[in-house]
Amino acid sequence: MTISLPVDGPAAPPRANGELVFAEPWQSRAFGMALTLQEAGLLSWEDFRSALVARIAEADGSGDPGRGYYHHWLAALEDTLAGARIVSADELAQRSRTLALRPHGHDH
Amino acid sequence: MTATGRSDPAADPTGTLPPALRVEALEQLLTERGLIDPQVMDQVIDTYETQVGPMNGAKVVARAWTDPEYRARLLQDGTAAIAELGFSGPQGEHIVVVENTSEMHNVVVCTLCSCYPWPVLGLPPSWYKDPAYRARVVREPRTVLAEMGLELPESTRITVRDSSSEVRWFVLPQRPAGTEGLTEEQLAALVTRDAMVGVARVEAGPVEERVPAS
């Protein structure tokens, strides 16, 4: 997945050391969702952070390098929303599967 | 395993689904319930991608280098002195500023997750969130710093600062020699994110010849 962005000038993202803040669009959505929910008072940042710490500790312990930081972030967001009875894991799984059934190329 | 109503097969029903789908599903569900507005979310993301970044921290450092009274306030109450320049926001509470000198070098990590002073440094780089950095910099900071290109003399003591939800550390780097004639703005252009985490030095001028470290 590639997105074209200006590399300098005022519109350039902060890519210190040549690195983009987000590697894929879903990462920025997951990030923005947590912040937006927190600002709206729907998500306790302490609960979210605890969930994130737990997810990261679990991954560190298992030595599974396949999942990056924003995987943990997303899982922690799901954990927190399920814990607060806002979106359950089951309904999220169902909606995800529904989205997966869309014909290929739906977003082009 | 007992079937409970619907036949969802896995105990962790979302774990195996691709993250992009899960995020999209979550956004749809929250939007339908009126809990988030995707346009507000777009603005939040845009702010962090394009506006908040290490340049805020660089301005703080340059001010501290040129204004001794500001420097004193910064070291005494980081959050308040940083807010003086207009930088505040989530993860910006409880910023404690420590100064690097020839005798003492501070380097920042968050061993538990990724606590980081967002309002001044933007979002953390991937190496900061990497399990290897988080574990090793505590055990063998001198080696890790050398691997990242920062060789410190044996006479310099190293203190590893572990950020948490209570304290987010911010490093005031040493002002490089040969920058006496520079303006505050020119100084700010020299200051890198890595220097404010404590894994690099600030090098003197010329800005246009500086090449990203990796």
Report if residue A91 sits inside a domain. yes
The one catalytic residue among B88, B114, B126, B214: B114
Please tell me the distance from the alpha carbon of residue B94 to that of residue B3, in angstroms, as a whole number.
48
Nearest by CB: A96 against B14, B35, B44:
B14
Please tell me the distance from the alpha carbon of residue A49 to that of residue A62, in angstroms, as a whole number.
20
Count of positions (residues) in chain A: 108
Quote the minimal CA–CA distance from A51 to chain B in Å.
Answer: 10
* Structure confidence at residue A105 (pLDDT): 61
Count of positions (residues) in chain B: 214
Q: Which residues of A60-80 are buried (b: 16+ CB within 10 A; e: fewer)?
A: eeeeeeebbbbbbbbbbbbbb
Report if residue A8 sits inside a domain. no
Fill in the DSSP letter of residue B67: -
Could you tell me the residue ranges of all domains in chain B? 21-49, 54-208
Report if residue A47 sits inside a domain. yes
Q: What is the pLDDT along chain B (214 residues), one digit of tens a residue?
A: 333 333 334 445 566 789 999 999 999 999 999 999 998 998 888 877 766 778 889 999 999 999 999 999 999 999 999 999 998 877 777 899 999 999 999 999 998 887 888 888 888 887 888 888 999 999 999 999 999 999 999 999 999 999 987 899 999 999 999 999 999 999 999 998 899 999 999 998 654 444 444 4
CB atoms within 10 A of CB B178: 10
Residues of A in contact with B18 (CB under 8 A): 100
Domain count, chain A: 1
Please tell me the distance from the alpha carbon of residue B214 to that of residue B208, in angstroms, as a whole number.
16
Domain B54-208: homologous superfamily in CATH: Nitrile hydratase alpha /Thiocyanate hydrolase gamma (3.90.330.10)
Phi, psi for residue B10 in degrees, rounded to 5: -95, 155
Q: Which domain holds residue A69?
A: 43-100
Nearest by CB: A87 against B29, B112, B123:
B29
Phi, psi for residue B13 in degrees, rounded to 5: -65, -25
Q: Which residue of B has its CA nearest to A39?
A: B90
Q: What is the ipTM of this complex?
A: 0.79
* Structure confidence at residue B64 (pLDDT): 98
Q: What is the pLDDT of residues B166-183, one digit of tens each?
A: 899 999 999 999 999 999
Active site residue B88: no
Quote the minimal CA–CA distance from B85 to chain A in Å.
Answer: 20
Own/partner contacts of B37-41, CB < 8 Å, gap of 24 or more, are: B37/A36, B40/A36, B41/A29, B41/A32, B41/A33, B41/A36
Report if residue A2 sits inside a domain. no
Tell whether B7 is within 8 A of chain A (Cβ): no
Report if residue A86 sits inside a domain. yes
